[in-house]
Amino acid sequence: MAASHSLLDPQTLSRAEPLGLFARRVVEGYRVGEHRSPFNGFAIEFSQHREYTPGDDPRHLDWKILGRADKYYIKQYEQDTNFVAHLLLDASASMAFGSGPVTKIHYARGLAACLGFLILQQRDAVTATIFDDRPRSTFPRTDSLGKAQQLCKVLTDLEPSRPGNLRACLQDYAARLSARGIVVVIGDFLDDPADLLQALRRLSLTRSEVIVFQVLDHEEISFPLEGNIRFIGLEDDSRLQTNPADLRKSYLAAFHEHQKAVRRACEQCGVHYTLCDTSRPLAEALTGYLAFRSKAG
Amino acid sequence: MQFLAPAALAGLAALSLPVIIHLLNKFRVREVRWAAMRFLQVAAQKNERRVRMEDLILLILRCLVLALIVFAFARPTFDKVDRADLVAGDPLTVMVLLDQSASMGASDGIETRFAAARDAALAFLEGLPSGSAAGLLLVHDGFASPVARPTRDLALVRRSVELARLTDRGTDFEPALRAAVEALRNLPGRREIHLFTDNQLVGWRELERVRELLRGAPEVQVVISAPSLGDGPVTANLAITNLRLDTAVPIAGQPIRVLVEVTNGGAMPVGGVRLALAVNGEPASADAVINDLAPGGTRHVPLLVRLPETGFHTLTASLPTDRLAFDNRRTLAVQVAPAREVLVVEARRGPSAWQGSGHFLAAALAPVDAEAAARHYLNITRVTAAELDASRLSEYAVIFLAGADPIAPAQAAALAAYVREGGGLVVMPGEPTPAELFSDAPWPDILPASLSTPLEPARGGVEPAPYNHPLLTLWNDPAAGNLAALRFARVFPLAPFDSPEVQVALRFADGSPAVLERSVGRGRVVLFAAPPVPAWTNLPLHPAFVPLMHRVFAASARGSALRLNLAPGEVFQAPVPIEQLNRDVFVRGPATDARPVAVGSVELVEARAMLRVRASAQAGRHSVYVGQIERPDFIFAVQTPAEESDLRIAPPNVLVAPPAAGAEAAPAFVAPSAPFLTAKQLWMIALAAAAFLSCAELLLALRTSRSR
C-alpha cells in the first residue's frame, strides 16, 4: 500500500493539476462533462437543422418550420460530455532496468498514477491495463476519485519479469475499444519500431487520441559505461562481454536511429510523443507535456 | 651480435606483463543487466573484427616496447668483444691516471702528446657505462689527486681532466699506480686503472715494484692508453741535459766558467746549432755552435760569462726550439756572495809570514798582492792554535787547520759546534799534530777518518782521472791540466769511517784515501792526508793548488747549503733575519708576464726564521720576495730532470712480467676497452625505437577510443 501511495507524488500532482488534461479532440462520453460530445442530440445548445430521414425520432422534428414551410427538419443540439482515458502500461522485463534508484517501471507507474489521478479529479473516467506479452491486470473504468488508490494498487501489483509483446497487446486492446477516448501508452519502446508503427496505426483506427510516453534510463540514452562489462539481456538470456568504450559510438548511432524511427512512427499516426528520462524529475516531464497540450488546444 | 649485459635479457620475462594485464582485464568483468541489448549487439557485430584487430596491434606494440627496453639494457653490440676484457658491461670503477710530465709536451707539430692523452681520457670518461665511478690522478714524478677516490660524478672528473695542465716535472708511474691501487682496493665490482701517457721508458724505473704491487692486487687491471700521436721517434730532439758552474766560487765581475751539457735525443745527427747563454734574462752574453753531434751523443760545452754584482743571478742556456720544447732551455741560479771571512790556523816557525805552515794556503786562497787583497772576496786571517778565539768562530765561512799546533779540547769542542751549525772545517794535519790527538773527542764525531802515525807512502802520486767527486771534476777536462805531477813525501794514513756521510774525494795511487769529506750537522769537514807545506807534498807548488783550495772553500763554506737549483715540486728554503718573521712571501714565476703571488709567510723553524717555498711545476727562474715586491730577496731555479728528455717508449705490455718457468703469465695489462661507444650507440637506437613505438601506441589507443 505504501508503494501505491508513493506513486502519487504530491509535488507532481500540485504542479500538473492546474493544467488539467483537456481532450484534444472531441471525445465520446457517457455523461455531461467538460468535453464536447460528438453526439448532437438532445441537449440544451442548438447546433443545426438537417432534413428528416425515415427512422428519425419524430420528437426531434422542428414543428415551427413544418408549420411555416411544410418541410420536415430535425433539430440537432451540441452537448458537453466526459471522456475515458485508457492507461496502457508496459511492464515487460526491460522496464525493470534502472541505473539509479529509480527504475523505468517505477517511473512509468508514477506517471500513470499521476495521469489517472488528474483525470479522475476532473470527473473523467479512467481505465488502466498493465501488460507485457499479454494483458496481465486491468483496472476497470471508473470516474470516482475515491478509486484512485485502487488504481495505484493495480499499477504496483505487477513486477516486470516477462518479455514484452507491444504490438500484439496494443492491437488486441484496440480491437476491444468500444468508444473513442484518450489512449495513453507508457513504455520504453525498445522493440522494433515497425511493430510500434503497426500497433499505433491500429489504435488510430479507433479514432481515439493516442499519447505515447517513452520512459528511458539515462544510461540507455548516453551509454556512459566504462570498463570491462558483461551485459545480460533483461528480456532474454543474451550475453555480451565488451568494453563499452569500444562500442559507444556505434551503440549511440544505433540508438538514435531507433529513436528517430519511434518518433517517425508517432508522427505518422498523429500521436503525441514524449520522451521521459528517468534521471529527470517526473513532474518536469508531466507538466512539460500538459503545458504543450494546453498550447496546442 | 652479442650482449655486454646478457643478464638483463632476463627482463624479457616482462613481456608477459601486457598479456597478463590483458587477461586480467578479461577476467575482471562487471555484470550489468541491460535492457537495450539490441543496439549493443548491432554495435558489437559492426565493430567486433576491428576491435579485435586494434587490441591485437596494441598488445603487440606494448610487447615490442618492453622488448626494446630490455634489449637496450642488455647493451647489444655488433663488435666482437672479449668477455674476459669486458665483463658483462657492468658499471666500472676506474682510476684515470693522466700523465702531465714534461715529456708529454712532445709535439708532432699539431698537438702535444698531452693534448692527445687528455682528449683520449675525456673520450674514455664519456663512454663509460652508466653507473660507473671514476677518480683522477695526475701523474709526474709524484702525483696530484684532483679526484682521489672514485666518484659517480663523472662531470667533475671530466672537468678536472679539462683543467689539467702540462708540467715540467719528471716521470715516475709507481707512486701514482700505488695510490690508484689503494683507492680501488676494497671497492666492489670491476676495477680498472687507465693510464693515459706517452709510456716513457724512464717512468718505469720502479718497474719491478709496480709489478709486485699489481701481483698483490689481481682484481685491479691496468690499461695503458698511449695516444697514437708521436709514437714514432722524435726526429729532432736536441736537449740541454745539464747546466752547472765550472768555477768554484763565482766572483762578481770575474769570468765564470759554465758547463752546458747538450744531448742529441733525436734520431738524426745534429750540426750547426747555436747554443746561447744569457744572464738574468738579458740578451745572450755567450754562445757557441754545436757541430756534428750524433744521435744519442752528449757534448759538454764550456762558456764564459761575467756576473755584474754580488747577489742572486740566473744563467739561462737555450737552444733553438724543436718538437720537445721544455729541454731546449735550462736555467741555473747562482749566488755571488760578498767578501767572506776565512780563518787559517797554522803553526809558525818564525816571525815572518812565510814561516807559517799556512802561508801557501793563504796565498792560494787570496792570490793577489796586498793592495788588491783588501778588495778580494776572501779575507784571510791567519792565527796560531793558541790565538784561536773559540767565541768568534761563527764569523768565518771556513776554518782551515793547516798543520796547526795541537788544538785544546775546549777549542776542539767549539770547532765541532761550529761545524754542526753549518760551518766548514778543512783539516790538514801536520808535523806538530800527533795522530793520537785526533782519536780524542770530539774529533771522531766530526772527522771522516781516523788518523795513524805519518809515514812515507810507497807511491807518492794520486789516482789518475776521471774523478767523480765535485771537488775534482775540473780535472776531468784535459784543458784544465791534471794531477799526475802531484807527489806526497809523507802522509797520515787515513782509515775512513763506515758512514754514508763520508765520501772519498781523492785517492793515492795505491788506493788509500788522500782527501775525504764528511757532512756533520749542517756543516762539512774536509780532511787531507798531508799539510799544505812543501816538506810533505808538492801540492802547494802545483798549478792545481789554487783552484783546488777555492773548490774546497766553495764546497764547505757556511751558507753554501742554500739550494738554489731545485727539481719541480721540491721546497726552496732559506734562513732570513728574525725580524722578517711572519712577513708575507711572494714568488714570481718564470713566465714573462708573471706577477708576484703570495705563497705564505716566514715561519719559525728550530728557533730560526725560515722561508719555505714549494717550487712550482714550471721550470725556470723564480724570484722570492719577503715583505715587499720591489726587489727579490732570493732567486732560485727549477730544472726539469734531465732524463725527461729521453723519449724512448716502453713496450705496451711493459707490466707483463716475464713468466716464470712452468708458470702462466698473469695478464695485468689489458687492451683499452674500445667497444663502449659501439655498445652505447646500439643502446640508444633501441631506446629511440622504444620511444617511437610508445608514441605510436599512444596515438593508436587515442584514435581507436575515439573511433569506436
Facing A254 at nearest CB: one of B25, B33, B43: B43
Asked whether the predicted pLDDT for residue A63 surpasses 80, the reply is yes
**Residues B386 and B526 both lie in one domain:** yes
Q: Can you read off the three cell numbers belonging to residue A289? A: 507535456
Facing A190 at nearest CB: one of B26, B28, B36: B36
Q: Do A232 and B26 touch (CB under 8 A)?
A: no
At residue B609 the predicted structure's pLDDT band, cuts being 50, 70 and 90, is confident
Q: Average of pLDDT values for B62-78?
A: 84
**Residues B423 and B546 both lie in one domain:** yes
**Residues B300 and B393 both lie in one domain:** no
How many domains does the structure of chain B reveal?
A: 5
Q: Do B25 and A232 touch (CB under 8 A)?
A: no
Any domain includes B491: yes
Is B489 in contact with B536 (CB distance < 8 Å)? yes
Facing B31 at nearest CB: one of A230, A234, A248: A230
> Looking at residue A95, what is its pLDDT?
93
Q: Average of pLDDT values for B272-284?
A: 87
Query: B258-276: per-residue pLDDT in tens?
Result: 989 998 887 788 888 889 9
Query: B212-258: per-residue pLDDT in tens?
Result: 888 888 888 888 888 764 445 556 788 899 998 877 778 788 888 89
Mutate to test the interface with B, among A246, A257, A260 (most CBs of B within 10 A): A246
| CATH architecture group of domain A2-29+84-296 | 3-Layer(aba) Sandwich (3.40)
Domain boundaries, chain A: 2-29+84-296, 40-78
> Looking at residue B214, what is its pLDDT?
87
Asked whether the predicted pLDDT for residue B18 surpasses 80, the reply is yes
Residue with C-alpha cell 485502487?
A150
Any domain includes B602: yes
CATH code, B149: 3.40.50.410
Q: Average of pLDDT values for B404-429?
A: 90
**Boundary (domain end) residue, out of B337, B371, B386:** B337
Query: A257-297: per-residue pLDDT in tens?
Result: 999 999 999 999 999 999 999 998 888 888 888 888 777 65
Is A133 in contact with A102 (CB distance < 8 Å)? no
Q: Average of pLDDT values for B658-675?
A: 47
Looking only at the bridges linking them, the beta strands covering A229-233 and B30-34 are: parallel
Q: How would you list the strands of the sheet with B513-520, edge to edge?
A: B378-384, B340-346, B398-402, B424-428, B523-528, B513-520, B502-507
> Looking at residue B398, what is its pLDDT?
92
- Which residue, B390, B417, B380, is CA-closest to B520? B417
Any domain includes B643: no
User: How many angstroms away from the CA of B44 is the closest CA of chain A?
Assistant: 7
Among all residues of chain A, which has the CA nearest to that of B31?
A: A230
- CB neighbour class for B350 (10 Å; exposed up to 12, middle 13-18, buried from 19): exposed
ipTM of the complex: 0.76
Q: Average of pLDDT values for A154-171?
A: 88
What is the overall mean pLDDT for chain B? 84
Q: Average of pLDDT values for A157-164?
A: 86
The dihedral sign for the CA sequence B695, B696, B701, B704: positive
Q: Do A229 and B32 touch (CB under 8 A)?
A: yes
Asked whether the predicted pLDDT for residue B75 surpasses 80, the reply is no
> Bridge-partner residues for A273, per DSSP?
A212
Mutate to test the interface with A, among B23, B24, B31, B38 (most CBs of A within 10 A): B38
Looking only at the bridges linking them, the beta strands covering A125-131 and A84-90 are: parallel
- In terms of pLDDT, which residue wins out, B21 or B428? B428
In B112-265, DSSP assigns E strands to 133-139, 143-151, 190-196, 220-225, 238-245, 255-264
**Residues B457 and B469 both lie in one domain:** yes
Is B649 in contact with B670 (CB distance < 8 Å)? no
**Residues B468 and B597 both lie in one domain:** no
What residues of A are in contact with residue B34 (Cβ under 8 Å)?
A: 97, 231-234
The one-letter code for the residue type at A238 is S
CATH code, B292: 2.60.40.10
- In terms of pLDDT, which residue wins out, B283 or B491? B491
Query: A168-196: per-residue pLDDT in tens?
Result: 999 999 998 877 889 999 999 998 999 99
Asked whether the predicted pLDDT for residue B311 surpasses 80, the reply is yes
* CA distances from residue A256 to A223, B176, B345, B364 in whole angstroms, order as listed: 12, 84, 135, 132
Cα three-residue angle B666-B679-B135, rounded to 5 degrees = 60
Facing B36 at nearest CB: one of A242, A246, A255: A255
What residues of B are in contact with residue A97 (Cβ under 8 Å)?
A: 33-35
Buried b (16+ CB within 10 A) or exposed e, A48-63: eeeebeeeeeeeeebe
- In terms of pLDDT, which residue wins out, A10 or B142? B142
Asked whether the predicted pLDDT for residue B324 surpasses 60, the reply is yes
Q: Do B33 and A217 touch (CB under 8 A)?
A: no
What is the DSSP-derived secondary structure letter of residue B442?
A: T
**Residues B361 and B492 both lie in one domain:** yes
In B272-423, DSSP assigns E strands to 273-279, 286-290, 298-306, 311-318, 329-336, 340-346, 378-384, 398-402
- Which residue, B168, B260, B163, is CA-closest to B591? B168
Buried b (16+ CB within 10 A) or exposed e, B614-639: ebbbbbbbbbbbbeeeeebbbbbbbb
Q: Average of pLDDT values for B622-642?
A: 89
> Looking at residue A217, what is its pLDDT?
94
Range of the domain at B538: 340-556
Any domain includes B87: no
At residue B88 the predicted structure's pLDDT band, cuts being 50, 70 and 90, is very low
Among all residues of chain B, which has the CA nearest to that of A246?
A: B708
The pTM (predicted TM-score) of the whole model is 0.52
- Which residue, B538, B675, B630, B575, is CA-closest to B2? B675
CATH code, B569: 2.60.40
**Residues B219 and B259 both lie in one domain:** no
Helix, strand, coil percentages (3-state) for chain B, rounded to 5, are 30, 30, 40
- In terms of pLDDT, which residue wins out, B97 or A53? B97
> Looking at residue B672, what is its pLDDT?
44
Query: B94-152: per-residue pLDDT in tens?
Result: 999 999 998 888 887 788 889 999 999 999 998 888 788 999 999 998 899 899 999 98
What residues of B are in contact with residue A94 (Cβ under 8 Å)?
A: 35-36
Among all residues of chain A, which has the CA nearest to that of B28?
A: A228
> Looking at residue B658, what is its pLDDT?
64
Q: Which of A2-11, B108-117, B505-514 has the highest mean pLDDT?
A: B505-514
Q: Average of pLDDT values for A21-44?
A: 44
Asked whether the predicted pLDDT for residue B309 surpasses 70, the reply is yes
**Boundary (domain end) residue, out of B301, B322, B337:** B337
User: How many angstroms away from the CA of A276 is the closest CA of chain B?
Assistant: 16
What residues of B are in contact with residue A233 (Cβ under 8 Å)?
A: 34-35, 37
**Residues B56 and B126 both lie in one domain:** no
Q: Which chain A residues touch B if contact means CB-CB below 8 Å?
A: 94-97, 104, 188, 190, 217, 220, 225, 227-236, 238, 240-242, 245-251, 253-255, 258
Asked whether the predicted pLDDT for residue B277 surpasses 60, the reply is yes
> Looking at residue B196, what is its pLDDT?
92
- In terms of pLDDT, which residue wins out, A1 or A104? A104
Facing B41 at nearest CB: one of A94, A228, A240: A240
Q: Do A250 and B32 touch (CB under 8 A)?
A: no
Q: Average of pLDDT values for B488-493?
A: 92
Q: How far is residue B516's CA from residue B450's CA, in Å, rounded to a whole number?
A: 11
Is B289 in contact with B274 (CB distance < 8 Å)? yes
Buried b (16+ CB within 10 A) or exposed e, B400-425: bbbbbbebeeebbebbbbbbeebbbb
Q: How far is residue A273's CA from residue A260's CA, in Å, rounded to a whole number?
A: 11
**Residues B297 and B372 both lie in one domain:** no
The Cβ-side half-sphere exposure at B236, using a 13 Å CA radius, reads 12
Q: Do A240 and B38 touch (CB under 8 A)?
A: no
User: How many angstroms away from the CA of B82 is the closest CA of chain A?
Assistant: 52
Query: B449-484: per-residue pLDDT in tens?
Result: 999 999 988 888 999 988 888 888 888 888 888 898
**Residues B521 and B405 both lie in one domain:** yes
In A115-181, DSSP assigns E strands to 125-131, 135-142
What residues of B are in contact with residue A220 (Cβ under 8 Å)?
A: 35-36
Q: How far is residue A109's CA from residue A103's CA, in Å, rounded to a whole number?
A: 10
Q: How far is residue B345's CA from residue B357's CA, in Å, rounded to a whole number?
A: 9
> Looking at residue A117, what is its pLDDT?
86
Q: How far is residue B548's CA from residue B542's CA, in Å, rounded to a whole number?
A: 10
**Residues B662 and B690 both lie in one domain:** no
**Residues B257 and B378 both lie in one domain:** no
Mutate to test the interface with B, among A94, A215, A231 (most CBs of B within 10 A): A231
Among all residues of chain B, which has the CA nearest to that of A217?
A: B35
